Chain A
Amino acid sequence: MNFEPTEEQRLLRESARSALVGLCTMPVLRKGFDDPAKLDAFAQALWASVAELGWTGLVVPEEHGGMGLGATEFAILHEELGRALFTGPYTVTAVLAAGLLQLAGCPASLRARLTDIASGAMRLALLEVQSGERESFFATCGHGGTVSLGTHRVPDAGVATHFLLLATEQVTSSHAGVGRLGMCLVDRSASGVTVESRESFDPTHTMGSVTLRDAPLDPGHFHVTELPAAQIARVLGDMRLARCSEMLGVADRALSETVAYVKERKQFGQPVGSFQAVKHKLADAYIALENSRTAARYAALARDAGAADALLALDVAEAMTSVMGIRVTGDCIQAHGGMGFTWESDMHLYFKRARWLASTGRGVGHARASIASAIVEGRVEF
């Protein structure tokens, strides 16, 4: 096991960090806060830049124009994206969709779009089909035609060239059972697709309300299949892992800026960072961050090694990282005092991104319950 990154991974981190310092800056992001169209335009330009760096094809196999790398690498890249508060539907496109199109049973016509993902030509925003609409959606994915879905809130909808519609369900109830997966790609400009701009809790992402009414499906861009549940969980898990890694980057940057601040800021004639009340709070933040880093790194290593405990490791990483990110960025606001509550300070941006990330998935409660049932059912080793 290698907790230390390999030489290639270290280079990936360094080059990502230095590229993002120039590509995604706070002043530019801030210009988009009051005008979602501006932020979307920036996200689009940013996309072209990172596509040139090859990041959109990070996990796409080489025969489709990608780099064919694994979870350990996309995790590292996501830490850097989090640090920069990167904007745009990167995770959905380059991790989730790229993973789905590589699953067994995916028709060649869909799989061919990996090339467009790798090249940066395709930007995908996600609509997760909820239980009420799932049965009719599976049917649609079987025969094509048109698709209708009630309004979904979709992050980065304004930047997307296509929408990824996705539904999964458990077919057999046992832990190692079978799952059903239905998905289709809908062109943003297709008839029947309406996108209405909403205000996003995280101002460094945009948010859209997307409605589909009899939107036509392109031939070969839909399918439904049954697969071992573990395979589906692994691909969905990749997105969760990416979110965990992004959270690490957000918290890491917030904490290092906060440490720099408390060393400078003086009260009672001395740096506030010399007071134990402040030290202890930030020491706890450091512990939480490092523990989460360990958990997320292990989840990535276990995923790439195909280890038996990979999904359990992911539950641990997710439950730990979500709580950590919100708490650490909140404590960073506190350590800044009044400054921390201002719009001018960047602390609220880290705090909001942390909350946004924690809200994207099924939530901490789900991960904790999953760990608990593994214990109760005797599926964990001590």
Chain B
Amino acid sequence: MNPSFSAAEEAFRQEARIWLIESLRSVGYDAMSWRERLDTDFCMRWERHMGASGWTGLSWPKEYGGRALPLVQQVIFQEEYARAEAPILWNSMAHGILAPTLMYYGTESQKKRFLPGILSNEERWCQGYSEPGAGSDLAALATRAERISDARGDRYVVTGQKVWTSVAQFAHWCFILVRSDPKSSRHKGISFLLLDMKSRGVTVRPLRQMTGESEFNEVFFDGVEVPVENRVGEEGQGWEIAMTAANHERGTFFVPMLVSMQSELRDLVKLARTTPSDGRPAIEDPLIQDKLAQLYMDVSVMRLNSYRTLETLMQGRPPGPEASFTKLFWSEVRQRMLELAMDILGPQAMLAWTDPQAAAGGRWQREHLWSRAITILAATSEIHRNIIAERGLGMPR
């Protein structure tokens, strides 16, 4: 049983589905291997194509070039996007976090300058939050922004280091949290700046991950100048802005994760049918069957939870700890799912994902390794459990 959608919503689903199928076909997606589909240049070209075709900014107001679609249609698009197994969106930080922040806190000229580049995906953004000394404890951040006002203008001079900065090596801009008041500590004295990655003094050093890939980076700022007009909100308002921005993520972000997970489970069942174990299909192993049953339960309930959350959002009630809840549960279930994939592969799992002979192009080994990141990024599971206990159950901080 699925939630019932109106005729208009179903029509929109058809429109989205057809556009996705045709566009993906036109770029040869069907014939591409799993590895080719991960290619960064390809993904970024695709993202610009989406922008040029009017399939970005679905939630944005029309005055900023968006489509101002109701929440249900945004969700439908996300579902269809995930169902089509369409490419990874590298500029998602800009769409999910920065754009709503600019619409709320930005000046008119900031909106005019930056929103069109996000909408078209011609300008890519990275998020400069975490630092070597400020991970889960973001308020400990130490990157300094010294304000200088002279004949050359009013500006900040940024010095410090960010880390775990995804896609910084491809980003044109960085939205960054800096300590603008050197005497301040913790949540006070932090500002939110928009920093041009081409500026003098920016060094990006890719970090090699346990998968062997380099998707995130260390970013060093050595006296990088940022004009004062590129500060969002007031000086010292950065923490509030960052926290509000985190809430924007709560909208519909969970939908694609869940839909992709359903496809992943479907593929896992196929893997279990086709992989021999002791001369019989692995799916005949009762232990594997039981683990598949558990995953089916978890994935079903996650999908139903997302409809439950959606109802809450549509009724305009403030979300509780659902974002933490969803992220935590999703990440832990997905880790289990990929562990099962490795179990099913048996001795085949002993090849590295990069080996040309790896089963399924190395997909399962790579995703299995990657899944160790998902309980750490976007706040660790430990932080999410704190949030759930404090906001969901009202336990003391």
Contacts and interface: CB of A to CB of B under 8 A. Distances in A.
Interface stretch (A97-105, A278-286, A346-354): A278-286
A371 B395 contact: no
A178 B12 CA distance: 43
Contact of A372 (B293, B299, B300): B293
B297 A295 contact: yes
Interface size grouping (class) on chain A: 35 or more
A45 interface: no
Contacts of B373: none
B315 A4 contact: yes
B301 interface: yes
Nearest to B322: A290
Contact of A382 (B265, B394, B395): B265
A283 B290 contact: no
B385 A376 contact: no
Contacts of A228: none
B3 A287 contact: no
A371 B296 contact: yes
B283 interface: yes
A282 B308 contact: no
B1 A305 contact: yes
Contact of B396 (A2, A263, A295): A263
Interface in B293-321: 293-294, 296-301, 304-305, 307-308, 311, 315
B292 interface: yes
Contacts of A237: none
Contacts of A286: 388-389, 392-393
Contacts of A117: none
Contacts of B382: 276, 280
A1 B395 contact: no
- Residue of B283, B304, B311 with most chain A CB atoms under a 10 A cut-off: B304
A152 B396 CA distance: 49
B397 to A, nearest CB: 7
A321 to B, nearest CB: 11
Nearest to B292: A375
Nearest to A306: B1
B395 A263 contact: yes
A368 B325 contact: no
Q: Name A's interface SS.
A: helix
A274 B386 CA distance: 10
A53 B1 CA distance: 33
Contacts of A276: 382, 385-386
Nearest to B284: A376
B266 A287 contact: no
Contacts of A2: 311
Nearest to B3: A1
Given A273-B396, A282-B395, A368 B293 contact: yes
B4 interface: yes
In this complex, the member of A298, A310, A313 whose beta carbon has the largest number of chain B beta carbons within 10 angstroms is: A298
Given A2-B311, A282-B395, A283-B388, A375 B296 contact: yes
Nearest to A308: B1
Interface in A332-382: 368-369, 371-373, 375-376, 380, 382
B329 interface: yes
A306 to B, nearest CB: 9
A271 interface: yes
Contacts of A274: 395-397
A376 B280 CA distance: 14
B315 A262 contact: no
A195 B5 CA distance: 55
B94 interface: no
Contacts of A273: 389, 395-396
Interface of A: 1-4, 255, 259, 262-263, 270-271, 273-274, 276, 278-280, 282-284, 286-287, 290-291, 294-295, 297-298, 301-302, 305, 307-310, 313, 316, 319-320, 368-369, 371-373, 375-376, 380, 382
Interface of B: 1-4, 262-263, 265-266, 269, 283-284, 286, 289-290, 292-294, 296-301, 304-305, 307-308, 311, 315, 325, 328-329, 382, 385-386, 388-390, 392-397
7 closest cross-chain pairs (CB), A and B: A382-B266, A279-B389, A307-B1, A372-B289, A371-B293, A283-B388, A283-B385
15 contacts: A3-B308, A262-B395, A270-B396, A279-B390, A280-B382, A283-B385, A287-B328, A294-B304, A301-B1, A319-B297, A372-B290, A375-B296, A376-B289, A382-B262, A382-B269
